[in-house]
């Protein structure tokens, strides 16, 4: 009997302990994880009648140490409304409101007086986004017919940082604020908060999909969004791209830094951009993401993809040679090298090192139209599926025609067009053993319980073999070591693979300008086990002809910055037994 009694006592104690632990966990999530949310719910009693406070999930940047930094959140403060039926002196009320509101949005004087004259109405909002201090000070004046009410709004702590990718919210077809561009739009269903979000079953969320480490966005219904964007790298890329654009008075410039093994985009930007906290004077054309929505003819950074396809198909080897002339005529059209020189009998490597159009066209002919089309359809024939709205299709119609000229020019990046994101995905296969990955900007959804669910971006597309990728990377590495900046760009302790591109801009009438260009630059490092791939471009730079003049310095500076910032270990040039160290920037 005593043994049975002791067993029952122990069972009761275990149950009490488990219950206490459950209560403590729940209290932790109520007070710590969701303390601000519940405080906001308490504030709803001060919000305008029936409208409630705007509520929306957060968006985060991810630092290299996995620390989360706010990219989009909620700011809280006060709005001011008037009741024309009880408003005392409109002039004195307007003066008090403008003094409190300072630089925030307030109705213009005449508009305010017109609103005050609408005696058939009892509620008109006249000012927004007052700080907590200003709102409380105005409320303390107890002005007749003036209401000071709690409100919240979308706030972007970084201002213009990654704004075209983060996106904005604005009013949709109804009276609800919804995501309109960028991540705000793509993940709107997850970021939108329902009124009962804080009261969902905590344990149901805790153990849902417990066996799944990776989830699809369709399986997650509400939470915060965690991006792959590293804020320090994003800041550096934005500064560098802005400098390029301003220095050469370009129409637009942009860049992407991506992990070629996973498709995680570390930084992505274009210039000009805008501050998401102030849309009052923003050109609507800037609101989308140009790196996803606009296509370009990229020029000679296409040559490594042409070479890799031909190596993979077995129609050339690295030792194959051809007779390089200054120009050739194809279908009555003349193709020439950029320097209008012939270079004699040379190996495949020189096509990339010296950026020879005649060589790329010769390789395209060896590959044949059917094989060429198959490879390039794999590269660019479908959208990448990046988690951004409005992704454009590539332009490959020249590869559906029988004329060989379309294939020869495509081999060196003219006559076909694609988005920067499509281009870096294809080039990423050179850095990833011949496999294309899924470019993406969001890595996880942070549920309301605080649990983080990683998104599944594991799909890959094979485009050529690992041997072809390695051989092409070797040629691109030789370009950096021997040619780029006359060989001065070589990093003794780090292999870097790169390629420049200069394309003539179309004139809109079926031809090309002879003095206007699109410059591009791509590269990855370390060459044979890449940590990062970079794509840069500048559209219509003034006073310069070649990408090596506009972008090579920016590319090399970014390489040194990333090596130092991430402490990327060297992969060559170390004496036997030497300790590893990072390259100096």
SS3 category, 239: helix
Q: What pLDDT, on a 0 to 100 scale, did the predictor assign at position 193?
A: 86
- Residue 151 domain-assigned? yes
User: 551 and 440: one domain?
Assistant: yes
CATH number at residue 72: 3.90.1310.10
- Owner of token pair 């003794």: 492
With a CB cutoff of 8 Å and minimum separation 6, the contacts of 388 are 165, 182, 183, 186, 289, 292, 421, 441
User: 152 and 243: one domain?
Assistant: no
User: 262 and 158: one domain?
Assistant: no
- Residue 473 domain-assigned? yes
- Considering the chain, what is the average pLDDT of its residues? 88
Q: What pLDDT, on a 0 to 100 scale, did the predictor assign at position 208?
A: 45
With a CB cutoff of 8 Å and minimum separation 6, the contacts of 131 are 77, 78
- Residue 331 domain-assigned? yes
pLDDT tens digits for 129-147? 999 999 999 999 999 999 9
Contact in structure between 479 and 527 (CB atoms under 8 Å): no
Section 495-515 average pLDDT:
94
CA pair distance 493, 444, nearest whole angstrom: 35
CA pair distance 61, 347, nearest whole angstrom: 46
Domain count, the chain: 2
Peptide bond into 210 cis (omega under 30): no
Say whether pLDDT at 514 is over 60.
yes
Percent of the chain predicted with pLDDT > 70: 85
SS3 category, 362: helix
- Residue 211 domain-assigned? no
Q: What pLDDT, on a 0 to 100 scale, did the predictor assign at position 212?
A: 46
Which residue, of 167, 193, 219, is where some domain finishes?
193
CA pair distance 244, 247, nearest whole angstrom: 5
Cα-Cα-Cα-Cα torsion 200, 204, 205, 209, nearest 10 degrees, comes to -150
User: 91 and 238: one domain?
Assistant: no
Contact in structure between 535 and 430 (CB atoms under 8 Å): no
Of 582 and 518, the structure prediction assigns the larger pLDDT to 518
Please work out, in degrees rounded to the nearest 5, the angle formed at the alpha carbon of residue 157 by the alpha carbons of 155 and 159: 90
pLDDT tens digits for 302-323? 999 999 999 999 999 999 999 9
User: 185 and 246: one domain?
Assistant: no
One DSSP character per residue, 496-526 reads -EEEEEEEEEE-SSSSEEEEEEEEEEEEEES
CA pair distance 477, 585, nearest whole angstrom: 19
- Residue 382 domain-assigned? yes
User: 189 and 95: one domain?
Assistant: yes
Q: Which residues pair with 61 in a beta bridge?
A: 69
Of 35-39, 432-436, 556-560, the one with minimum mean pLDDT is 35-39
Which residue, of 141, 174, 193, is where some domain finishes?
193
Say whether pLDDT at 210 is over 60.
no
CA pair distance 565, 559, nearest whole angstrom: 10
pLDDT tens digits for 347-406? 999 999 999 999 999 999 999 999 999 999 999 999 999 999 999 999 999 999 999 999
- Residue 521 domain-assigned? yes
Q: What pLDDT, on a 0 to 100 scale, did the predictor assign at position 23?
A: 59
The beta strand positions in 10-103, using DSSP E, are: 59-62, 68-82
User: 154 and 242: one domain?
Assistant: no
509-517, long-range: CB within 8 Å, 24+ apart, which pairs? Answer: 512/414, 516/540, 517/541, 517/545, 517/546
What spatial distance separates the first Cα and last Cα of the chain, rounded to whole Å?
Answer: 78
User: 260 and 345: one domain?
Assistant: yes
User: 155 and 244: one domain?
Assistant: no
**Sign of the CA dihedral 204, 209, 211, 214?**
negative
DSSP 402: S
With a CB cutoff of 8 Å and minimum separation 6, the contacts of 539 are 250, 251, 252, 253, 296, 505, 518, 519
CA pair distance 248, 406, nearest whole angstrom: 31
Single pTM value for the model: 0.86
Given pLDDT bands bounded at 50, 70 and 90, which one contains residue 175?
Answer: confident
User: 297 and 442: one domain?
Assistant: yes
- Residue 579 domain-assigned? no
CATH number at residue 324: 3.40.710.10
CA pair distance 296, 219, nearest whole angstrom: 35
- Owner of token pair 């840069």: 536
Say whether pLDDT at 473 is over 70.
yes
User: 161 and 258: one domain?
Assistant: no
Contact in structure between 455 and 442 (CB atoms under 8 Å): yes
CA atoms within 13 A on the CB side of 490: 12
User: 455 and 378: one domain?
Assistant: yes
Closest Cα partner for 140 from 81, 109, 100, 94? 100
Q: What pLDDT, on a 0 to 100 scale, did the predictor assign at position 544?
A: 95
Domain that holds residue 499: 233-272+290-566
- Owner of token pair 């704004």: 163
- Residue 406 domain-assigned? yes
Which strand (E) or helix (H) includes residue 444?
strand 442-447
């Amino acid at each position: 009997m005593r043994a049975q009694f002791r067993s029952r006592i122990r069972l009761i104690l275990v149950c009490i302990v488990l219950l206490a632990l459950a209560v403590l966990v729940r209290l932790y999530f109520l007070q710590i994880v969701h303390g601000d949310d519940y405080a906001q719910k308490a504030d709803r009693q001060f919000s305008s009648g029936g409208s409630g406070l705007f509520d929306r999930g957060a968006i985060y940047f991810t630092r290299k140490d996995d620390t989360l930094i706010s990219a989009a959140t909620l700011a809280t403060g006060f709005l001011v409304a008037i009741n024309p039926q009880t408003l005392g002196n409109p002039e004195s009320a307007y003066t008090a409101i403008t003094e409190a509101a300072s630089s925030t949005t307030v109705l213009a004087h005449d508009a305010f007086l017109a609103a005050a004259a609408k005696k058939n109405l009892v509620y008109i909002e006249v000012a927004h986004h007052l700080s907590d201090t200003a709102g409380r000070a105005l409320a303390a004046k107890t002005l007749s017919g003036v209401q000071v009410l709690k409100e919240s709004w979308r706030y972007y702590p970084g201002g213009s940082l990654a704004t075209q990718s983060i996106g904005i919210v604005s009013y949709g077809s109804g009276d609800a604020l919804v995501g309109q561009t960028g991540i705000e739009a793509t993940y709107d269903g997850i970021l939108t908060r329902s009124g009962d979000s804080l009261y969902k079953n905590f344990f149901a969320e805790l153990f849902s999909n417990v066996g799944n480490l990776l989830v699809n966005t369709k399986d997650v219904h509400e939470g915060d969004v965690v991006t792959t964007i590293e804020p320090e790298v994003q800041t550096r890329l934005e500064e560098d791209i802005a400098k390029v654009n301003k220095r050469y008075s370009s129409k637009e410039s942009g860049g992407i830094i991506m992990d070629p093994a996973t498709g995680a985009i570390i930084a992505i930007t274009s210039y000009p951009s805008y501050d998401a906290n102030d849309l009052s004077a923003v050109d609507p054309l800037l609101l989308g993401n140009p790196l996803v929505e606009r296509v370009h003819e990229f020029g000679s950074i296409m040559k490594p993809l042409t070479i890799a396809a031909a190596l993979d198909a077995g129609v050339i080897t690295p030792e194959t040679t051809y007779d390089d002339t200054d120009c050739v005529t194809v279908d009555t059209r003349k193709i020439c090298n950029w320097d209008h020189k012939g270079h004699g009998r040379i190996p495949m490597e020189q096509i990339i090192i010296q950026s020879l159009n005649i060589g790329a066209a010769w390789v395209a002919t060896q590959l044949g139209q059917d094989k060429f089309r198959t490879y390039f359809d794999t590269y660019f024939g479908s959208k990448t599926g990046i988690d951004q709205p409005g992704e454009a299709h590539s332009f490959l119609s020249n590869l559906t025609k029988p004329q060989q000229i379309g294939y020869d020019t495509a081999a060196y990046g003219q006559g076909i067009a694609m988005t920067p994101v499509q281009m870096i995905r294809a080039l990423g296969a050179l850095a990833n053993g011949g496999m294309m990955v899924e470019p993406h900007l969001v890595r996880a959804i942070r549920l309301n319980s605080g649990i983080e669910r990683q998104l599944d971006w594991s799909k890959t597309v094979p485009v050529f073999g690992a041997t072809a990728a390695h051989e092409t990377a070797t040629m691109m590495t030789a370009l950096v070591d021997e040619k780029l900046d006359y060989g001065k760009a070589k990093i003794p302790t780090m292999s870097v693979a790169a390629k420049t591109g200069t394309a003539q801009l179309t004139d809109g009438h079926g031809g090309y300008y002879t003095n206007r260009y699109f410059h591009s630059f791509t590269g990855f490092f370390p060459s044979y086990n890449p940590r990062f791939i970079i794509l840069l471009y500048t559209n219509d730079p003034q006073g310069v002809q070649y990408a090596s003049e506009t972008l090579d310095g920016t590319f090399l500076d970014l390489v040194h910055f990333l090596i130092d910032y991430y402490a990327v270990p060297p992969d060559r040039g170390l004496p036997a037994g030497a300790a590893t160290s990072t390259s100096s920037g």
